[in-house]
Amino acid sequence: MRLLGCAVAALATAVPALASSDSFNEVQSKLDLDLRWGTYRPNLYFGTRPRLPASLLSGLIWFGLDDQRGWQHARHSCELGDNLAEYGYSRHNGRDFGEQLLVDGDQQVQIRSEFVKVPGKQGGSWAVRFSGRTLKDNVQGVSLAYYFGLEGNGTMSMKVSSRMARISGETADLGRFRIRIVPAKKNTSPERHPALRNVQGIPDAVRISGVGMSVPTSDVWRAKDLFQEKVFGQARTQASAILKQTDGKGPLTGSVLFQLRNEALSDSGSNLFFAQMIVHGEFAFDVIYECADEDAAIKTRDIAALASSRREDFDRRFEAVFGLHAKGFDADEVEMAQRALSSLIGGLGYFYGSSLVSPDPQPEYGEGE
């Protein structure tokens, strides 16, 4: 009961104080707007969506390139068989901040995500900074992809330069929006094998590339499957060309086979866009979603300061509500408590539709004899 009381107090203090004359509808409208965007895709290692049906989804996909079959085990949804040593939010306030560390030994990469949000019209703007490194045994690097897909009506188009990928779009619920996916200048690509330097048709290593797809709106949630089909089809074509020019000797390296070429970026029917970066060593990239409200604009240089400020606010508020340090708990115990609360809050999702209930339950779901 004591813990329940603390939790209720925490939730109560989370609601902004409003004048007593404000109507319930005004309160509800403000809360709906403040909480429109969030990490409401809890089945993914990282993903965002608004609390709106048939709207804009986003998510992170990655796989290692040392094993040519790594694409078959691309990470996206949280799966027990992925064997990640660590994932889940270490801090999340349920509103405008969340951070986590993903440690993937099988795919030889470590990724940190820092999510921040700025209030504004149409739900405001948000950004996430991904940073990390490939692990020591990795040679060919890792493929990192971030995608945006429209489940409903709207328009989107993408442009890719040597510096970043830009997406612009509009929907009835979100209005006009713009997105930037910006790789850090320090990012490096894996070294190309000397035997491949004179092979024709191999694209030069780039900091970022993009591809667009036109898919049924009911298939946007299958982004990982669609991405896997794309990279495998391209890898098979690339491998055939390499083997033909090298008398079957190759080598067939992952960083060459699985690098996407810019494709279908401005097609009017495209509703799913992927931005891919192939990196080795330390890396970072920012994903910035901005609504049409100029007061809610987010600059790349602002993300670190926003994350740092929100992190300090989270720690201060956590102690103010639960008082674990004051009660004698050590730093490891406080961290465990923060992770437990953050995983709970970060695990909140938004779902819509009809529930399907079988009128004739199977025997295995009944009570045992």
The span from the CA of 248 to the CA of 259, in Å, is: 21
Q: What is the pLDDT of residue 4?
A: 40
Mean pLDDT of 334-345: 97
Give the angle 311-313-315 at the CA atoms, nearest 5°: 70
Contacts of 320-323 with C-beta under 8 Å, sequence gap 24+, read: 321/6, 321/9, 321/10, 321/13, 322/6, 322/10
Mean pLDDT of 66-84: 94
Q: What is the pLDDT of residue 364?
A: 59
The span from the CA of 277 to the CA of 281, in Å, is: 13
Look at residue 166 and tell me whether its pLDDT is greater than 90: yes
C-alpha closest to that of 179 among 42, 285, 281? 285
Choice between 190 and 332, residue whose per-residue pLDDT is larger:
332
The span from the CA of 88 to the CA of 245, in Å, is: 46
Q: What is the pLDDT of residue 363?
A: 62
Instruction: For residue 144, give Cα distances in angstroms to 76, 208, 226.
Output: 11, 10, 15
Convert the pLDDT of each residue in 268-278 to its tens digit: 889 999 999 99
Q: What is the pLDDT of residue 199?
A: 76
Confidence band of 256 (pLDDT split at 50, 70, 90): confident
Task: Spell out the residues 6+ positions from residue 220 whose beta carbon is closer than 8 angstroms to its own.
Answer: 57, 149, 150, 151, 271, 272
Look at residue 16 and tell me whether its pLDDT is greater than 70: no
Choice between 354 and 20, residue whose per-residue pLDDT is larger:
354
Give the angle 306-58-48 at the CA atoms, nearest 5°: 50
Q: What is the pLDDT of residue 14?
A: 47
Q: What is the pLDDT of residue 253?
A: 81
Q: Could you please report the per-residue DSSP string of 190-252?
A: PPPPGGGTT-TTPPPP-S-EEEEE---GGGGGGHHHHHHHHHHHHHHHHHHHHHHHTTT----
Look at residue 295 and tell me whether its pLDDT is greater than 60: yes
Q: In the beta sheet, which residues pair with residue 10?
A: none
Q: What is the pLDDT of residue 68?
A: 86
Lowest-pLDDT range of 184-198, 206-220, 302-316: 184-198
Confidence band of 13 (pLDDT split at 50, 70, 90): very low
Q: What is the pLDDT of residue 9?
A: 45
Give backbone dihedrals phi and psi of 9, rounded to 5 degrees, phi first: -65, -40
Rounded mean pLDDT of the chain? 88
Confidence band of 362 (pLDDT split at 50, 70, 90): low
Convert the pLDDT of each residue in 83-130 to its tens digit: 999 999 999 999 999 999 999 999 999 999 999 999 998 899 999 999
- Please give the DSSP secondary-structure letter assigned to residue 352: -
Mean pLDDT of 307-323: 97
Residue count (the chain): 369
Q: What is the pLDDT of residue 2?
A: 44
Q: What is the pLDDT of residue 246?
A: 80
Laid out side by side, the sheet with 155-160 consists of 89-92, 97-104, 109-118, 125-134, 282-291, 175-183, 165-171, 155-160
Instruction: For residue 236, give Cα distances in angstroms to 229, 233, 241, 258, 259.
Output: 11, 5, 9, 9, 12
